[in-house]
Structure 1
Amino acid sequence: MKKYGIEFLRAKLATKSSRVKLRYNYYDMKTKMRKISALIPPEFRTLTYPLGWCAKGVDSLADRLIYDGFDDDPFGLEEIYSMNNADVLFDSSILSALISACCFLYIDREENGYPRIECIDGMDATGVIDPVTNMLTEGYAVLERNEEGKAILEAYFLPYRTEYYENNSTEPTEVFEHEAPYPLLVPVINRPDARRPFGHSRISRACMGIVQSAMRTMLRTEVGAEFFSVPQKYVVGISQDAEFNNRKATLSSFLKFTKDEDGDHPVLGQFQQQSMAPHLDHMKMLASMFASETHLTLEDLGFNTGNPASYEAICASHEQLRLTARKAQRTFGVGFLNAGYLAACLRDEMAYDRTAFAGTKVAWAPIFEPDASQLSNIGDAANKIQQSFPDYFDEKKLHKVTGL
């Protein structure tokens, strides 16, 4: 198999990191609004309008993907992850993969010989992927950066070997020989396909475009609110020699005007008050588009649409989100299993065959936690199935359905 080398992977990471950083800016609500209107007053052009829709779209899925151990685990992978703070490791890996399309699990050996697993974001790691196993044939990661963001510690991953480079050196400063038959850098990928094996970000181009339109709508709403609060007035027929204070005319309740020597007097008027409804309707339209793109509802984005929904109604309105979560569980499970497999090789100092782990699967908690009424329905259904197929439901199967 062709070997690309560390320089190729450095260049590859440089081309991809900017896109990952852009998506993190949207997630952190730090992205700048592209202003396209010349009619906005200069005083409003410096205002920022953070909008958390992208963060909501990511968190709504990430919070439903809850790691619940391993099924059929003869190699003790659950113990390895427990020793590596599994709750934080899984949550941070899932969140990072949803934002950047792919994160990486870096495996190393501690001083006591036990494997250590660390999550590295897609902005700091890349590699060449094997589409059959979804593991890397070679990988590269930036393990440490200085205050200016320059890489000061890098790692180049190969089967049975990890090379470390300090301060952009051309020769490795340290080499770690190991027993794992794959590089100790494992991708955890969100929605991979044949064209994009490193997956797709949850923050799609459509999401970013809709958020830009929504921020501009918020800016227009802010400008419109000024005219809505203080309607514009006008005076016709005032003498050119008369003194007139615009600010006083805006804030005073009464103004005094006298007739001139010809008996004429100014005529006061007020423009029609601007309505805020078009801005609100436009914002709701954009929210509907974003909800459709991310499989959420308007209520998830802060628009109240009716009375609180039941468990069945929530599940029905989030059916597409449930299917997306199932897809994410399958693809993320492959990455976590691959990392556990290499960690077991490192722990036992033995190059296990990958097929020995084929029966091991990552277990997940239910995507939607059932309420009391749904638990009653599940109990009735389980009782009927148990009567037809005795001993079908054991404690593990009921736990998968109910989470209890």
Structure 2
Amino acid sequence: MENYRGIDYLRIKLNKHSRRIRLRYKQYDMKKVDISPGITIPIALRAQYNSVLGWCTKSVDNLADRLIFREFSNDNFKINEIFSMNNPDVFFDSAVLSALIASCCFVYISDDGTGYPRLQIIEADKATGVIDPITGLLSEGYAVLQTDQYSKPVIEAYFTPEYTEIFKNGVSDKKIDNPTPYPLLVPIIHRPDAVRPFGRSRISRASMDIQKKAKRTLERAEVSAEFYSFPQKYVVGTSPTADPFETWKATISSMLEFTKDEDGDSPKLGQFTQQSMSPYTEQLRMNASLFSGETGLSLDDLGFVSDNPSSAEAIKASHENLRMMARKAQRTFGSGFLNVGYLAVCMRDKQTYERKEFYKTKAKWEPIFEPDATTFGLIGDAASKINIAVPGFIDEEILRDHLGLGGKKDE
């Protein structure tokens, strides 16, 4: 048995990182209230015009909606059957979305009572572990399975390759034997590297900073819009003995009367130059350009619609960075889902398989961009010409990977 670090170490580790994860979720839910410094707008007035912007949410959803898991190919161990029995339409989307927001999520594998694996997504702020950088699996793990109304852990689980220990209110309740060679808590990681083995969030520090500046621009624009709607006016030459008039009545009245004084002089009316809103629009567009460069989105995605509608090829070209990010995410998520399937198969068959036995099993994803009719024709012509030169080089499976359409299979 290994010398494990223990549940207390993992509790401290989770508490250390949970604050950063909750910040990302607040940004995604658009509930983060930024404290914006300013030298012109008073704090009380700024609070009345507090803006909400969903660019970080858009950056996550735009990538998550394009990552559609299809199946595992060369499925010699019937992994697809296990995922099909665990609500795959919700499971894969929930895992992808959680990992993009918080850099990772975890899958808790348990027995449904009949010996069949049950899969549950746990957010990154409720689970952690010690990762093996070679396999991407954990050597030990910890998860909060249930909390009370004050977010205090009620039911916790400690995972090792030998057993899963359940704690209730901080006291050990039971131990369950682990039939697999790794802990039954599997991480699904977005963009891992040697420095950050648990990956990086789609909501980066730069994204949060740019969105904060864009929100400040909107707040300034809202305050300035009041003066833009009602430009300041002035009256000079009034008599010192004249009765003062109400400023609000003078602003909204359609007709004002000013009489001459005993010397025959009359007041002169004037209006200050009306403030322009164009600087705020330009500044907001500049922030949108910075945000699109950071996240791989286009200005159209952020609400700055171009005059001419884009074709499917033009959309692909403008999202080239997003396409590369999606490809990277597919590789890392596919490895995590395969790890889940590997341990679930070990639990189902009650057999300790070796990880290398699953090397032929590959994750398949739907196309990142749905092809249009023109793309169908171009790919079809290219496939036909290639197969003439090299017979059978492009088959139905390759075409489905590019087009997302499955042909009719033999009964």
Judge same fold: TM > 0.5, yes or no.
yes
Determine whether 1:372 maps to 2:344.
no
> By how many angstroms is 1:214 displaced?
0.8
Report the equivalent of 2:123.
121
- Residues 33 and 216 in structure 1, CA contact (< 8 A), matched pair in contact too: no
Deviations 1:274-330 (A, max 9, x none): 000000000000000000000010001110123111111111111111111000000
CA displacement 1:344-401 (0-9 Å, x = unmatched): 0000111111110111111101111110010000000000111111122222121111
Single out whichever of 26-35 and 122-131 deviates more from structure 2. 26-35
SS in 2 for 1:301: coil
Match of 1:343 in 2: 344
> How many residues in Structure 1 have an aligned counterpart in Structure 2?
402
Identity of aligned residues (%): 55
The residue aligned with 1:22 is 23
Matching residue within 53, 62, 66 for 1:64: 66
Amino acid of the structure 2 residue aligned with 1:398: L
User: Which whole-Å CA distance do the structure 2 matches of 1:32 and 1:315 have between them?
Assistant: 35
Q: Given residue 95 of structure 2, which amino acid in structure 1 is its aligned partner?
A: S
Structure 1 residues 4-403: aligned runs within 5 Å: 4-41=5-42, 42-169=44-171, 172-241=172-241, 242-403=243-404
Q: CA deviation at 1:245?
A: 0.9
Distance between the aligned counterparts of 2:51 and 2:123, measured in 1? 27
Q: Distance in 1 between matches of 2:335 and 2:144?
A: 24
Q: Is the 8 A contact 2:79 2:345 kept in 1?
A: yes
SS in 1 for 2:304: coil
Local SS of the residue matching 1:61:
helix
Per mean C-alpha deviation after superposition, the further-off stretch among 40-49 and 299-308 is: 40-49
CA distance in 2, matches of 1:40, 1:141: 45
Which letter maps to 1:212?
A: K
Q: Helix, strand or coil: the match of 1:91?
A: helix
d(CA) in 2 for partners of 1:44 and 1:26? 20
How far 1:46 moved relative to its partner?
Answer: 3.1
Coordinate RMSD, CA, aligned: 1.1
Q: Which residue identity is paired with 1:90?
A: F
Q: Counterparts of 1:239 and 1:22 in 2: how far apart (Å)? A: 60
Specify the SS of the correspondent of 2:170.
Answer: coil
Q: Quick one: distance in 2 between partners of 1:129 and 1:67?
A: 24
- Does structure 2 conserve the Cα–Cα contact (< 8 Å) formed by 1:34 and 1:212? no
Q: Distance in 1 between matches of 2:232 and 2:97?
A: 49
What is the DSSP-based 3-state SS (H/G/I as helix, E as strand, rest coil) of the residue aligned with 1:173?
A: strand
- Contact 2:98/2:104 (8 A) holds in 1: yes
Q: 1-side partners of 2:66 and 2:240: how far apart?
A: 70
- Find the counterpart in structure 1 of residue 408 from structure 2: none
Instruction: Give yes or no for contact 2:49–2:223 (8 Å, CA) kept in 1.
Output: no
Aligned partners of 1:298, 1:219: CA distance in 2, in Å?
21
Name the aligned partner's letter for residue 282 of structure 1.
Answer: Q
Unaligned runs of 5+ in 1: none
* Shift, 1:39, TM fit: 2.2
Which runs of no fewer than 5 residues in structure 2 stay unpaired?
Answer: 406-411
Q: Is the 8 A contact 1:96 1:121 kept in 2?
A: yes
**CA shift at 1:32, angstroms?**
0.3
